Chain A
Amino acid sequence: MSVLRTSGGLSVAYRPRALAVGSGCLLLALLGALFTLASGGGDYPLSVDQVLSTLIGQGNPADAFIVREVRLPRVATGLLVGAALALGGAVFQSVVRNPLGSPDILGFTQGSAAGALVAIALLGGGSLALASGAILGGVGTGLLIYALSWRQGLHGYRLVLIGIGVTAILTGVNGYLLTRAQISEAARAVLWLTGSLDGRGWEDVLPLLCAMVVLLPVVLLGCARALHMLEMGDDTAYALGVRVDRVRLAALAAAVLLVSFGAAAAGPVAFVALVAPQLARRLTKAPGPNLLPAACLGSALLVLADLVAQRAFTGHELPVGVITGVLGGGYLVWLLATERRAGRI
C-alpha cells in the first residue's frame, strides 16, 4: 500500500499495482475507442489525425458528422455501459461475498429485459419507452429480490438462490412476451436482448451519463471503504463502526440503478458484470471489491468486444452481446471449475 499525504494531515492510500491495472485498462479502452472512431465498421475509414481534428471542432462536415453523430455516441455508450455494468457487478459480488452474486445471474438483467419487452411488445413504445421499461424492470426486480431475501439481515447465499429462481421465472415471462409481439417488434426486441451498441445516439448516452455522475460518487466515495470492511463479516464490520444495513442498502441500490441504466442504453450485454470484477481482482491481486479497476476493465472489455463484433465477419456486423456472451460464458465455466476445486463455491 502506498500513500499520498498533504502537510494539512490529509492522506490518500492506494495500491500501485491496482493503479497500474486501472490506468492500463483505461488506456486500452481509450485506444479501442479511438480506433473505433477512426475505422467504424470499416466503411468510411478516417485517419487518427482526422478524428482528432473533428473532435476539437475542425475537419470537413462529412467527417465531423460521421465521428460526432454516428461513431462517438456508440463509443461513449460502450465506455459508459462497460463501466456501469462492471461497477454494479463488483458491488454485488462484494456484498454477496460470492462471484456468482452478479446481476447477470441474480436476475436483474432479466428484469430489465422484461421491462423493456413490456414496453416494446405490449405497449408498442419507442426507444424512450424501451429505456424506461428497462430501468423500471431492473429496479422492480431489485426490490422484489431484496424483499424476498431479507430476513433479519441479508445473507449472500439466500440472495443468490432467490435470484436464480427469479431469473428462471423472468426468462419464462420474457419468452411469453416475445410470442405476443408483432414479428417486426419481436425482431427489434431480440436484437436489444442480445445487447448491441449499433445505432446508439446521444439520446441513449445522456441518461446513463447523468445516472453515473450521481451514482459514481455514491459508490466510490460513500461505500467503497465500508464495503472493504463488510468483506470480513457483518459483526466485524459493525464492530469497526460501519453502519452495516445502511451501507449495504445504499450500495445495492446504486448497483441496481447502474446495471439498469446500462441495460437501458445497450441492452442486457451478457457477462460483463460477472467477468470484469473477477478479472480485475486477479490482475490487481488486491483484496477488496476493486471498484475502479473493475470499472476501467469493463469499459475496455466492452469497447474491444464491440470492435471485434463490428469486424469479425466482413459485411455482417454482430451484436456486441454475442461476443461478451461467448467470452463470458467460457469464463464462467472456467471460474466454476476452478473455484469449485478451491472450495469457494
Chain B
Amino acid sequence: MDATAGTRLHGDGLTLGYDQRTIARDLDVAVPDESFTVIVGPNACGKSTLLRALSRMLKPAAGSVLLDGSDIHRLPPKQVARTLGLLPQASVAPDGITVADLVARGRYPHQGVLRQWSRTDERVVSESMASTGVAELADRFVAELSGGQRQRVWIAMALAQQTPLLLLDEPTTYLDIAHQIEVLDLCAGLHAEGRTVVAVLHDLNHAARYATHLIAMRDGEIVAEGEPAEVMTAERVEEVFQLPCTVIDDPESGTPLVVPAARHRVRA
C-alpha cells in the first residue's frame, strides 16, 4: 500500500534549518487525514520548525512538503491558504482593530479586488465568531481583550479561512490553565467537525488527552508516533525528555497521564 494514502499533507526527506544551522535531516512525516495530530518534544527539538515547514513558512533545504500531492511551494499562495490554515506563534493585532474586522481578514484568500466582501464572507465570519464564542465581542477592540479571548479571536480568523487543515503553533502558550483547556476544547471541537488539526504543544498531558495521533520528536528526529496510549510510556518519556516518571491513567479521560518522579519531597 502507498505510504502516503490517507494523508493530504506530508513531508518527504525534509532537511530543515535556518541559515547554516541544520535542525532536522531527512525527516519523513505524514499527517493522517481527519486526525488531531499533536507534536511534542523538548525545547529546540525541531517541533516548531517542522510545523513551519508543513505550513510553508519555512522552505526546506532538501526534500519537499506535499499538499494534495503537489509541492506546497509551487502551489499558488492563495490556493494553499484556502486548504491549509495556520495560527502562528506571533501575530500582531493592528492598532485600533475590532474583533469583527480582524476575523474578517481571514477571508482574504477567498477575496479579490472586485470581490471584496460577499454574502458568504459575511456568513462565514459570523459563524467563525459564534463557534469560537467571540460573537458578543465583535465590536470590541482586540487590544482590550484578555489573553484567552485574544487567542480565540485569532483562531476565529484562521477558521474564517474555511480550510480543511488547520495548523497551530503552541496555541496555549502564555495562557492560564483554564484558558488552555478552553482553547484545546475548541480545537477538539473543530476536529470533531471533520477538520484535520495539527498542533505543537508543550504539555504532555494535554497532548495525550486531546491528540488522536501523537508525534514525539527529539534532536530533529521523530522518535515515536501513533496513538497516545502506545506512544506515551514511561520509558519513552524518559528517553525523549530525560525525565524519570510514572505514567498512570488520567482519571477523567483514561488517557496517559505523566507524573514526574519526585526527587525532592516537601516535608509535611
Contact = CB atoms under 8 A, between A and B. Distances in A.
B237 interface: no
B150 interface: no
A333 interface: no
Interface stretch (A7-15, A77-85, A130-138, A202-210): A7-15
B104 interface: yes
Which size class do B's interface residues fall under?
Answer: 35 or more
Contact of B116 (A3, A239, A243, A285): A3
Interface in B149-166: 158, 161
Contacts of A233: 88, 90-92
B85 interface: yes
B108 A240 contact: yes
Contact of B105 (A11, A228, A238): A228
What secondary structure prevails in chain B residues at the interface with A? loop
B246 to A, nearest CB: 39
Interface in B231-263: none
Contacts of A236: 88, 91-92
Contacts of A232: 91-94, 105
A337 to B, nearest CB: 17
Nearest to A14: B116
A216 interface: no
A235 B88 contact: yes
Given A13-B117, A236-B91, A286 B96 contact: yes
A11 B117 contact: yes
B133 interface: no
Interface in A208-254: 221, 225, 228-229, 231-233, 235-236, 238-243
B113 A221 contact: yes
Contact of B91 (A10, A235, A243): A235
B96 A225 contact: no
A312 B91 CA distance: 48
A238 B80 CA distance: 10
Contacts of A45: none
A51 to B, nearest CB: 38
B117 A239 contact: no
A285 B89 CA distance: 28
Contacts of B161: 240
A6 to B, nearest CB: 9
Contacts of B113: 221, 225
Contact of B96 (A12, A238, A242, A287): A287
B55 interface: yes
Given A239-B55, A286-B96, A1 B77 contact: no
A24 interface: no
Interface residues of A, number: 31
Interface string B38-61: 000000000000000001110000
A311 interface: no
A287 B142 CA distance: 12
A155 to B, nearest CB: 13
Given A11-B117, A152-B19, A231 B101 contact: no
A240 B106 contact: yes
Contacts of A9: 115, 118
B90 A235 contact: yes
Q: Which of A97, A238, A242 has the most CB of B within 10 A?
A: A238
A232 B102 CA distance: 9
A288 interface: yes
Q: Which of A12, A240, A281 has the most CB of B within 10 A?
A: A240
A213 B24 CA distance: 50
B192 interface: no
Q: Which of A13, A229, A233, A236 has the most CB of B within 10 A?
A: A236
A9 B111 CA distance: 11
A89 B57 CA distance: 29
Contacts of A243: 77
A10 B114 CA distance: 6
Nearest to B169: A235
B62 interface: no
Given A3-B116, A11-B116, A11-B117, A241 B109 contact: yes
B209 interface: no
B58 to A, nearest CB: 10
A13 B113 CA distance: 10
Contacts of B79: 241
A231 B94 contact: yes
B82 A11 contact: no
A12 B116 contact: yes
B104 A1 contact: yes
Interface of B: 19, 55-57, 76-82, 85-86, 88-97, 101, 104-106, 108-109, 111, 113-119, 158, 161
17 contacts: A1-B104, A10-B114, A11-B115, A12-B117, A152-B19, A225-B108, A225-B113, A225-B116, A231-B94, A232-B93, A235-B86, A238-B77, A241-B82, A242-B77, A285-B96, A287-B101, A288-B94
A-B pairs, 8 with minimum CB distance: A241-B81, A241-B78, A235-B88, A13-B117, A239-B86, A241-B109, A287-B97, A287-B94
Given A235-B57, A344-B95, 16 more contacts: A1-B101, A5-B118, A9-B115, A11-B115, A11-B116, A12-B114, A12-B116, A228-B94, A232-B93, A233-B92, A238-B56, A240-B161, A241-B82, A241-B108, A242-B108, A287-B101
Interface of A: 1, 3, 5, 9-13, 97, 152, 221, 225, 228-229, 231-233, 235-236, 238-243, 281, 285-288, 344
